[in-house]
Structure 1
Amino acid sequence: MVSEVGVGTIAAGVAKCKSDVVLISGQDGGTGASPLNSLKHAGVPWEIGLADTQQTLVLNDLRDRIVVQVDGQMKTGRDVVVAALLGAEEFGFATAPLVVEGCIMMRVCHLDTCPVGVATQNPELRSRFTGKPEFVVTFFEFIAQQVREHLAALGFRTIAEAVGHVEALDARKAIDHWKAAGLDLAPVLARPEPGRAITSATTQDHGLEHALDNTLIAQAQTALERGEKVTIDLPISNVNRTVGTMLGHEVTKRYRGAGLEDDTIDVTFHGSAGQSFGAFVPRGITLRLLGDANDYVGKGLSGGRIVVRPARESMMDDSKDVIAGNVIGYGATGESFSCAARSASASWSVTLAPRLWWRVSAITPSST
């Protein structure tokens, strides 16, 4: 999440939704591939967003179940230690290692014209790349050494011991500077009330034993074991998220990337699907939804088929109402997603070509 004032509230919601990790990304981050508008106008310094996140998670007794990451132009061991004291357990480096590899920040990553061969597929430009893995290894060895020195000066033996101990930050030198006259950092450096967990100590209970996919897997055993076609019909509600993903895992675990024959496992759902319906579904699985779906339908679709159409008894207006949420097919690499009107209207399908272009098939009348 982009570092902003109030981002802690969003982080608390993410933790309640059983995320394992929350990443706070500061305004200064962004390689040459980042949009210029984002580089200039998105977010605030990571220190502010991280402090807000740490305090909010601790005060709501959510900090122990989630790992907090931070990034945004981290370059030194001092940055790592400051981030740890403010509450981060993991730290992201991107631009600095790129520069170590030879990046000169031309900001043409998206044009395939990188003059030093870092971000290009052009063979001639790639031949100019002079970076070596050892350069990055050496860089992080120096970062680690500087981290050790700062931790020793503060009396900590490990990063884990330092996480959340914001009282170890001394801001007097900065505040006493004439440019910072009158600056009050108390809200940023506030330490939540003692007795609450200030670092990750447990893991999230994702409740996977209650997932709808367990029913799908049980009913699809003949298909999974012998490749025989099965048909399944079940109700669904918006508490059922990423439906089909665990089933897809079982298919991929047995049949690898080839999957099963098309429509081997044919599932029809009735109702309103939750987030990420059909995410990462491989070849051999067809999911039909008679109703509507939340965001991210077909996320990472990997060869499976998804069909969404209104329920026959629905009172929705085909010309106005939406039956699938935002960002359909995000990251999808194969097969198709279909969305159809209820009757005597138009239907359309999207086939995901190998180069990730979306090819819309003919819009045809539909009577079913």
Structure 2
Amino acid sequence: SIKQVASGRFGVTSHYLANSDQIQIKMAQGAKPGEGGELPGFKVSEYIAENRHTTPGVGLISPPPHHDIYSIEDLAQLIHDLKNAQPTGEVSVKLVSEVGVGVVAAGVAKALADHITVSGHDGGTGAAAWTGLKGAGLPWELGLAETQQTLVLNGLRDRVKLQTDGQLKTGRDVVVACLLGAEEFGFATAPLIAMGCIMMRKCHLNTCPVGVATQDEELRRKFSGHPEHVMNYFFLMAEEIREIMAKLGYRSMSEMIGQTQHLEVNPRGLHYKSRGLDLSPLLTPASDLNPSAGVRNLTTQYHGLDVAKDNELIEKAMPALESQTPVVIEDEVTNINRTLGTMLSYQVSKRYGKEGLPEDTIQLNLKGHGGQSLAFTLAKGITMRVEGDANDYTGKGLSGGKVAVYPAPDVVSGGFVPEEHVVVGNVCLYGATSGKAFFRGKAGERFCVRNSGALAVIEGVGDHGCEYMTGGAVVCLGETGRNFAAGMSGGIAYIYDPENKFPARCNMGLVGLETIDTDEEKELVYNYIKEHVEFTGSTVGQGMLDNWDSRVKD
């Protein structure tokens, strides 16, 4: 199966990623490039909310950007993360057809993606905004031709598989795409029509009259599609493709990839406004640009998983993985150990499913400096303690595990004040779904973006904390940055604010401010902080507990 990782990270867990053949990073969508999705609350049923780890009936907003991708290096890190989360599968990156997509695709290939999709403007979801459908994107032919030529010119084409989509309907469309450089082809609209879709464009309203795109049980009974209808469509398409290939003199699709010399512009098919366009650059054979380079996928990317530290951890944790025998592993960690704990989590998820292992079955006690994406999708049953500090993306996609980062006692006794310094980087716990995180010190920006179920205790955060959060709990024992809780539609954040600075820094668009006034809630927060102190030795937390009755009012 192909599992998508979009900007909202809804339901992206270790179990979700481990059970896939390909993981696709959706940088953008052909029908609405540059826009985030929005799911109205009335469509968020119990079933959808469970899968997305959100609250039924509450609308969901996907941010337009991925908050862990602001450069090509960030994308390379996410590709590495996902490769660790599913070492035997492919990592794909979905781009949209636009001017300059070739340069972006070259960067994606250098970032070690296994697969690139170029999506055209005609396809896409019926839930896309009308402005996006009508005014954004370009035909897949333009983007595909540019991507093929740029990759071949830079000697990168043989490393990746190239796919295109966007209203491919006939065998002729597939052959044209193949000749322009694609080796894989995406279909959505045509198979849906084969199953009974009548293109009412009501996918976002929950009122699909033929039961294809609705959660309404009455309407779903109207669905009349059968798998055989789709199989028949593809069989007949394959027949058409085979006939065209025979006319061109090819025995296999792989021989035909990138052979643009068989294509020419049909002047009679041009609109009067486009007759002056010179489309010949589209049809330049890529092999002419770099005769020594491959024009199709011939090799694989090297991700360096064979030298990852997780291999050592998996070997040491084998008693726990095979028989659930508790193990404690003591080790050193440095910032070159990226995505630590993720391949170990993959092993847990493949063997024990989303339930994972019992609490604290595998305990990792590490000293040093955690690399980027420490504890990415850490699975239930794994507890990771780092005596030191950690880089960006710590605890991203946390999936039931526990992670704690705190300075070494000798560093603190030497005068280091943790609550005044950053101990974990930006975008920590992005898309976390469950588990616990305790950090003795401050975090960078965008802390707990899209958190949907994890508990986090921290001693200060940067700007944009808890953005788009839909569940879980955050306890902040220090100051926050500006724009806190923007787009937050669920969950709860407890902010210690004795100087009353927080209201001016909070984005009040979707949230309200309250004080803790029930004994049950006081006890709950007390226990959160107590657990934080037990994990990290926090003096700030201990000070709160010692003066609880007066501090809880702040």
* TM-score with structure 2 setting the length: 0.57
Give the equivalent residue in structure 2 for 1:60.
Answer: 154
- 1:358 is aligned to 2:471: yes
Which deviates further from its counterpart, 251-260 or 171-180? 171-180
**Residues 219 and 172 of structure 1: CA distance in aligned 2, closer, same or farther (over 3 Å):** same
Change in CA separation of 1:316 and 1:74 when aligned onto 2, cut-off 3 Å: farther
- Rounded Cα–Cα distance in structure 2 between residues aligned with 1:193 and 1:105: 43
Is it true that 1:229 corresponds to 2:327 in the alignment?
Answer: yes
- Is 1:328 paired with 2:430? yes
**Structure 1 residue 43 corresponds to structure 2 residue 141:** no
Identity across matched positions, percent? 47
Deviation per CA, 1:15-67, whole angstroms, max 9, x where unpaired? 12221111111111212133444433442211111111111111121111210
Alpha-carbon distance between aligned partners in 1 of 2:346 and 2:379, rounded to the nearest angstrom: 8
Distance, in Å, in 1 between the alignment partners of 2:377 and 2:268 is 49
Counterpart in the other structure of 2:396:
298
Instruction: Give the distance between the partners of 2:202 and 2:419, measured in 1 at CA.
Output: 46
Indicate the RMSD between aligned Cα atoms, in angstroms: 3.2
Moved more, 287-296 or 256-265: 287-296
CA contact (8 A) 2:338 2:370 kept: no
Q: Deviations over 1:237-267 (max 9, x none)?
A: 2x54433221012223443443221122233
**Contact 1:108/1:114 (<8 A) preserved:** yes
> Residues of 2 paired with 1:207 and 1:242: CA distance?
12
SS in structure 2 of the partner of residue 11 of structure 1: helix
Are 1:255 and 2:321 counterparts?
A: no
**Which amino acid is 1:96 matched to?**
A
Q: Report which stretch shifted further, 40-49 or 4-13.
A: 40-49
TM-score, normalising length from structure 1?
0.84
- Superposition pairs of residues 68-79 of structure 1, within 5 angstroms: 68-79=162-173
Partner residue, 1:284: 381
Give 3-state SS (helix, strand or coil) of 2:150's partner: helix
Query: What residue in structure 1 maps to residue 192 of structure 2?
Result: 98
**Structure 2 partner of 1:21:** 115
Distance 1:181 1:257, change over 3 A: closer
Q: Secondary structure in 1 aligned to 2:281?
A: coil
* 1:246 alignment partner in structure 2: 343
CA distance in 2, matches of 1:62, 1:320: 39
Quick check: 1:180 aligned with 2:282?
no
Contact 2:338–2:372 (CA under 8 A) maintained in structure 1:
yes
Letter in 2 for 1:205: Y
Q: CA deviation at 1:176?
A: 7.6
Q: Does 1:193 align with 2:295?
A: no
Structure 2 stretches lacking a partner, 5+ long: 1-94, 455-468, 476-493, 497-537, 542-554
Mapped pair 1:5 → 2:118: no
Who is 2:208 aligned against?
114
1:193-246 per-residue CA deviation (whole Å, 9 max, x = no partner) reads: 323210111122222111121132233234334421314343232x54433221
Return the letter of the residue paired with 1:230.
V
In 2, distance between residues paired with 1:7 and 1:357?
Answer: 33
Aligned to 1:217: 314
Whether the aligned pair in 2 keeps the contact of 1:292 and 1:309 (CA below 8 Å) is no
Aligned length: 356
Residue deviations 1:300-338 (CA, integer Å, cap 9, x gap): x43323446788788999699982328802xx54x2253
Q: Which moved more, 1:37-46 or 1:190-199?
A: 37-46
